[in-house]
Amino acid sequence: MTLIRLLVVGMFTMPTLLLAQTIQKPLDLVEWRFSGNRFQCLMETPLKFDGHARIQVQSGKEPELLIETFQRPAAFDSAWLSVNQQVWRINAQVERWLDGDSAGEYGVRFYDAQAIKSLLNQMEKGAWAQVSVLDKQTGKPVSWDIPAINFSNPMQEMKHCMANLLPMSFSQAKDNQFYFNSNATELAKSDKRVLDDLVQYISWDSSLTTILIDGHTDDQGHALSNIELSRQRANQVRNYLVSQGVNGKKIQVRAHGQRYPQVNHSDAQTRHKNRRVQVRLVQGGAS
């Protein structure tokens, strides 16, 4: 899944009287900018008075929408995102799209991934977004208009970028476990799918120096036989990665047998957690 974040970053505090109004940048100054790579994609536009609005998608993350601005009241009772699909009409009715909550001292966060994706589709067709909070001190709403002017071309670049995002972030790729049936060495299809995602990540992260593959067994059987079994399991993972294009010179395989159980004093129901291969990615000089 992809991550979509709308970020409004504050630059200075506005007078309290202005907070009762909808804050909107002059339309002739609205501009969206795009930048991205295989790890993240983002679009941003400056807001009136302070900061900017940002749509951000990071590899392997859940979609999220966040605003953050110094204009946000210190405390608010509720927050919501609305969509205006008739921006040419004076006093057009806006449609409440989803609710949010506070994120830090200046932020408001929204979680509904499908609603955020739908919002982007609507904005590409010309609708505007509006983020509002109900000021707890004054009881009045504070709103920020996010116009879709000059939005379509950057959004096309954004879509292309999103389609080519890596399936994993480093936090997801850096440490993975693959489990085996008793005395088995074959990888499951689901394991191969995860390894395929790892291969994509490895191929694009030039900071990776080492791939550690550690094989383990449960405590059943002879200790020396378990060392060999753990080596076979680790080599199954190594060979699969190499077959998919990973540089074998970066890979270190270690066989531990039953020496480092994940679950101590295991029984038949929990013993499978010790029959595993751990794959860890090391960046730079990290261990």
Say which CATH number the domain at 227 has.
3.30.1330.60
Task: Look at residue 250 in the predicted model and tell me its pLDDT.
Answer: 96
**CATH code for the domain of 57:** 2.60.40.2540
267 & 151 share domain: no
233 & 260 share domain: yes
Sequence-ordered list of residues with C-beta below 8 angstroms from that of 58, at least 6 positions apart, any chain: 2, 3, 5, 39, 40, 165, 169
Q: How far apart are CA 82 and CA 233, in angstroms?
A: 53
Closest CA to 123 of 78, 165, 160, 159: 159
Question: What is the widest separation between alpha-carbon atoms in the chain?
Answer: 81
CB burial class (10 A; 0-12, 13-18, 19+) of residue 38? middle
Structure tokens at 153: 């071309």
Report the domain count for the chain.
2
Q: How far apart are CA 141 and CA 21, in angstroms?
A: 8
Per-residue pLDDT of the chain (287 residues; tens, 9 = 90+): 444 444 444 333 333 333 346 777 777 788 999 999 999 999 988 877 777 888 888 898 878 888 888 888 889 989 999 999 888 887 777 888 899 999 888 888 888 888 888 889 999 999 999 999 999 998 999 888 889 999 999 999 999 998 999 999 999 999 999 999 999 999 999 999 999 999 999 999 999 999 999 999 999 999 999 999 999 999 999 999 999 999 999 999 999 999 999 988 777 778 899 999 999 999 985 54
DSSP secondary structure letters along the chain? ----EE-----SPPPGGGGGSEE---GGG---EEEE-SSEEEEEEEPSSS-EEEEEEETT----EEEE-TTS-SSEEEEEEEEES-TTSTTPPPEEEEEEEEETTTEEEE--HHHHHHHHHHHHTT-EEEEEEEETTT--EEEEEE--TT-HHHHHHHHHHHHT--S--HHHHSEEEEE--TT--PPPHHHHHHHHHHHHHHHH-TTEEEEEEEE---S-S-HHHHHHHHHHHHHHHHHHHHHTT--GGGEEEEE-TTSS-SSTT--TTTGGGGSEEEEEEEETT--
Task: Look at residue 17 in the predicted model and tell me its pLDDT.
Answer: 34
Task: Look at residue 286 in the predicted model and tell me its pLDDT.
Answer: 54
Residue after which a domain boundary falls, among 119, 146, 163: 163
180 & 115 share domain: no
Closest CA to 182 of 253, 233, 240: 233
Task: Look at residue 183 in the predicted model and tell me its pLDDT.
Answer: 92
60 & 106 share domain: yes
Task: Look at residue 252 in the predicted model and tell me its pLDDT.
Answer: 97
Structure tokens at 103: 């994120």
130 & 182 share domain: no
45 & 11 share domain: yes
132 & 66 share domain: yes
Task: Look at residue 285 in the predicted model and tell me its pLDDT.
Answer: 59
Task: Look at residue 177 in the predicted model and tell me its pLDDT.
Answer: 97
Task: Look at residue 93 in the predicted model and tell me its pLDDT.
Answer: 77
The domain of 263 spans: 170-283
Task: Look at residue 7 in the predicted model and tell me its pLDDT.
Answer: 47
180 & 147 share domain: no
195 & 83 share domain: no
Task: Look at residue 65 in the predicted model and tell me its pLDDT.
Answer: 83
Residue after which a domain boundary falls, among 142, 163, 184: 163
151 & 212 share domain: no
Residue after which a domain boundary falls, among 137, 163, 189: 163
Task: Look at residue 14 in the predicted model and tell me its pLDDT.
Answer: 35
pTM (two decimals): 0.74
Residue identified by tokens 């999103």 is 162
Task: Look at residue 21 in the predicted model and tell me its pLDDT.
Answer: 60
88 & 176 share domain: no
72 & 194 share domain: no
Q: How far apart are CA 92 and CA 3, in angstroms?
A: 30
